[in-house]
Amino acid sequence: MRTAALQRWLEAGHQADMNWMAAPRRRDAASLLEGAQSILAVGLNYYVARERHPDSLAVARYAWGRDYHRVVNQRLRRIGRWLETIRPECFWRVCVDAEPLLDKAWAEEAGLGWIGKHSNVIHSRRGSWMVIGHLITTERLQADQPAKARCGQCRACIDACPTTAITEPFVVDARRCLAFHTIENRSPDLPADMAEAMGPWIAGCDICQDVCPFNQGSIPSSQDPDVQPRSWLLDLKAEEIQRWTDEDWDERLRGSALRRIKPWMWRRNAAAARPETPPSVG
């Protein structure tokens, strides 16, 4: 079912310029590791009970700390090496985000959480503030029950999106998504309608997650040092970014997932963004 949904999404052009998402290997985990029998899904909670300063530009929470690709990859590799000690004949492979895998669908199948209408995986107690990773192995593991969707009739994420990027439940059109345009769009100028709607968001966008009912209340605040925010990200000003040199960019974003946004893109985004006081989340 998820494979068919992906094909419909691709045929509609919702992947924009992200052509790697059409890789056929994403639909078959066995093609990534010969003899694969199981997939272990993990989630790294990156929610920290901190807020950006008033009148500052906004950066998506997943990027406040260390590059999650490295963090999750390193931790899953430790699991793989441990597995080798008790099952020397087994093989394994780690996949984190950029690997050709239907990561969210497998996370749902493994019981980590369900895919919400905003397309993020939601955990019943931790909400959707997590990045996911997988370890594919030739070892046959006891399977957990798939997660059951609990979004019901809720439309909070759909109604809150300022660019109507969530065209229908579970379908996000990257061509209308602020996260895509601030991070992946390599054009010198942002589309006028996206620039008009971006508000304070300069790197990614958390609006659909901020309004999700499962992200309200007393969700756990991570104490993991790898996800703690770099202080300057919580008080970011457009005029400061416009003065960045390539050396400033390199120093500030060393070991950060935000290095995907090149210096000229930061300046482009900063020129269009408009700071505002962040909403309070109860």
Q: What is the pLDDT of residue 282?
A: 40
Token pair, residue 278, equals 């962040």
C-alpha–C-alpha distance, residues 236 and 58, integer Å: 7
Q: What is the pLDDT along the chain (282 residues), one digit of tens a residue?
A: 455 555 554 565 544 554 545 555 545 677 889 999 999 999 999 999 999 999 999 999 999 999 999 999 999 999 999 999 999 999 999 999 876 668 888 899 999 999 999 999 999 999 999 999 999 999 999 999 999 999 999 999 999 999 999 998 888 898 999 999 999 999 999 999 999 999 999 999 999 999 999 999 889 999 999 999 999 999 999 999 999 999 999 999 999 999 999 999 999 999 999 987 544 444
User: Catalytic: which of 28, 55, 67, 97?
Assistant: 97
| Domain residue extents for the chain | 2-49+64-137, 156-272
Q: What is the pLDDT of residue 165?
A: 95
- Does the annotation mark 103 as catalytic? no
In this predicted structure, what is the pLDDT of residue 83?
97
pTM of the entire predicted model: 0.87
Question: Which residues in 155-194 are b (16+ Cβ under 10 Å) and which e?
Answer: ebbbeebbbebbeebbbbbbbbbbbbbbbebeeeebeeeb
pLDDT the model gives residue 281: 43
Q: Are 158 and 117 in contact (CB under 8 A)?
A: yes
b/e string for 227-247 if b means 16 or more Cβ within 10 A?
bebbeebbebebeebeebeee
**What is the per-residue pLDDT for 7?**
52
| Predicted local confidence at residue 15, as pLDDT | 45
